[in-house]
Amino acid sequence: MLIDRRQLLGVMLTGFMAGGAGADVPRGRLFVSCRRDAADNASVACFDRDGREVFATSLPARGHDVTRRPRAAEIVAFARRPGNWFAVLGSADGSLRQVVEAAEGRHFYGHGAFSADGRLLHATENLIATGEGLIGIYDASDGYRRIGEMPSGGIGPHDLALLPGGRGLIIANGGLRTHPDTGRETLNPEDMKPNLALLDLRHGEVTARHELAAELRRLSIRHLAVRGDGVVAFGGQYQGAAEDAPPLIGLLRPGGTPAMLAVEGDALFAMNNYIGSVAFDDDGGSLIATSPEGGAALIWDMAGDRLAASLRLPDVCGAAANGRQSFIVTSGNAGITTLGLSGLAGPGVEQRWIWDNHARVLREAGQADD
């Protein structure tokens, strides 16, 4: 959703009010996610696995993903695509520090990733006139001033992530050309070329593009998770016929090519051709993929890439590591739930919030931020 400058300034002056910590002391790990209420008022919130709220801050419109700045007590919340803003907040109390608008002729795709030292923020963007995918570069040490851009290596870049070592980015180019005038409508359904692109940050160049097999050209690669050894998990959203039911989740190992994870029968059909989020657990031994469209979550034991659990949860999407073989997941209408390899590992927390697609680890409760 594109917001004009007057609306942005108005929300900055009146709407960004951080909520204080509740009476209950948060326990364990803290998470952050965007959300809305029934009246469509958008915010970003920090909470623990039991739903205890640490802070909540209003946003100008629906947010999508949140990224944490290394070596600084800041987080950045991105507008849902096609959006033209991101908000910078203090990660300790949710205080608003800045709202940054997209550059002229560009819009954001809802995701960003910092450099290892926390100085530069990289954001997936669309060059509206041509549909070319870009990675905008913002200097966080200089008020998030936009200092340049790099090619994404494709059309419709969505998620991106820093690779181990900090020298490169992995980019999910979804292959979908869109235009703000037509919202989220796909303008090139017959000419999709999704890929995973490797971008060398030292030289600003794409060094590799990995396309999927020809029969998967309509699988728009959307979301990523990166393990400590460089293995990349990716999830897609299929733009073809519903009855096709192609594989939706895959792995890209260092030096290799994309390989789809085997899912068959009811587990595959439960995902309804749509992956909303993917995440590894703490040690990378488990992988989760969620589908709000299907109301389902799949968990793999990565020792042998074995599907270990298939669970039904209404409108489940956000997912983040909650330890070894454990995840918290958020739902548009079922609150916060803890999942493990054996299924539900904790009771769901009923809430009035409509959580958006992604949940991220912020820090351990009681731990000082960077």
What are the pLDDT digits (tens) for 332-352? 777 899 998 776 665 556 668
pTM: 0.92
Q: What is the mean pLDDT of the chain?
A: 90
Other residues' Cβ atoms within 10 Å of the Cβ of residue 229: 9
Q: What is the pLDDT of residue 344?
A: 65
- CA–CA gap between residue 289 and residue 21 (Å, rounded): 31
Q: What is the pLDDT of residue 16?
A: 43
Question: Could you tell me the pLDDT band of residue 25, with boundaries at 50, 70 and 90?
Answer: low
What are the pLDDT digits (tens) for 258-293? 999 999 889 999 999 999 999 999 999 999 999 999
| Architecture field, domain 5-364 | 7 Propeller (2.130)
Q: What is the pLDDT of residue 186?
A: 77
Higher-scoring residue by pLDDT: 83, 90: 90
Q: What is the pLDDT of residue 133?
A: 98
